[in-house]
Amino acid sequence: MLSRVANSMYWMARYIERAENLSRYIEVTLNVILDQPDAADRQWKPLILATGDALDFYQRYNRPDAQQVIHFLTFDPDYSNSIKSCLTQARENARTIRETISSEAWEQINEFYHWLNGSQQQTMSLDQLSDFYQRARLHSHLFNGILDATMSHGEGWHFFNLGRLIERADQTSRILDVKYFSLLPKLDDVGTTIDDLQWSAVLRSVSGFEVYRKRYRAITVPRVVEFLILEREFPRAILFSLDGANRSLHAITGSPLGIFRNVPEQRLGQLLANLAYADVRQIISRGLHEFADELQVKLNEVDEAIFDEFFALRSSAPLPVQYQLSHQ
């Protein structure tokens, strides 16, 4: 497969996943505000902090209130990670590989793009905003579902799946960071009803509330953290996502699972093995923010290695076959 096509598949998936997760962040914040209207003012700043783009925000906006944060994260064409910008870049990637994806997938991403560009923040009430983000999430689900159902699951699809799942793992870590920053102003809230509401919101932000409650009745911090990071069967858990990404990476290269022949296989395998043997008590005692920060750095290293191995126009000498610390 041409590196240009592989690169476009990979980044089209990442941008769609990023746009969906931004919708999830904002939708959940809106729901938390409905439960805690007196705390509305302090619910928006954590979203900016979790994106890692606070400097970009404060260069062009006065304060992190509802209107400015929603515009920055959703409609701002000058912010490269806004939903609008992500969708524009995803559509551009799709346009360059129209011969690779199905016409149905192209039509769906076009519909998503035109619907978003026809929406105006200023005309929406709180309830309409909530509906808007639900619909954005639905558009993303439709695109992923159509592409999964209409594209051959060969090399191109595996690049798509690799990008989708690496982005998903990164975004789940950022959702945990949102909770960390939310707690900072009032540590006395830990273990209270307010704390339960916030952790419930975190679970809802990854569509995991019902699944979690079927497995565990009570909401406790260690169980929620373990569920979101180390769960092997929940599709938005970090370990599940990286395991799927690793399988797609090995399907692309042809290397058997459990060994590595190039840098991305080595880095992703090491990260996966560390998570597979991680203990939730150690993660919490060390600090969720520190864990999320370190994970995001390692995911960036995996992304850089994927670029060098598959997308950069230069050859790389294969590494000797070595065994990973497999989690399997």
Average pLDDT over residues 288-316: 88
What are the pLDDT digits (tens) for 175-197?
Answer: 888 766 665 445 555 556 667 77
How many Å apart are CA 202 and CA 152, to the nearest integer? 34
Q: Specify the pLDDT at position 287.
A: 85
- Asked if residues 179 and 145 have their Cβ atoms less than 8 Å apart, the reply is no
How many Å apart are CA 181 and CA 150, to the nearest integer? 41
What are the pLDDT digits (tens) for 106-146?
Answer: 999 999 999 999 987 677 877 788 899 999 999 999 999 99
Is the confidence at residue 323, as pLDDT, over 70?
no
Q: Specify the pLDDT at position 320.
A: 46
- Asked if residues 17 and 109 have their Cβ atoms less than 8 Å apart, the reply is no
How many Å apart are CA 281 and CA 47, to the nearest integer? 26
Q: Tell me which range, 12-16, 41-45, 201-205, 254-258, is most confidently predicted by mean pLDDT.
A: 12-16
SS (H, E, C) the chain: CCHHHHHHHHHHHHHHHHHHHHHHHHHHHHHHHHHCHHHHHHCCHHHHHHHCCHHHHHHHCCCCCHHHHHHHHHHCCCCCCCHHHHHHHHHHHHHHCCCCCCHHHHHHHHHHHHHHHCCCHHHCCHHHHHHHHHHHHHHHHHHHHHHHHHCCCCHHHHHHHHHHHHHHHHHHHHHHHHHHHHHCCCHHHCCCHHHHHHHHHHHHHCCCHHHHHHHCCCCCHHHHHHHHHHCCCCCCCHHHHHHHHHHHHHHHHCCCCCEECCHHHHHHHHHHHHHHCCCHHHHHHHCHHHHHHHHHHHHHHHHHHHHHHHHCCCCCCCCCCEECCCCC
Is the confidence at residue 317, as pLDDT, over 60?
no
Q: Specify the pLDDT at position 246.
A: 97
Between 125 and 282, whose confidence is greater? 282
Is the confidence at residue 326, as pLDDT, over 50?
no
Confidence of residue 241 (pLDDT cuts 50, 70, 90): very high
Is the confidence at residue 328, as pLDDT, over 50?
no
Q: Tokens 């949102």 label which residue?
A: 178
Instruction: Enter the pTM of the model.
Output: 0.89
Is the confidence at residue 291, as pLDDT, over 80?
yes
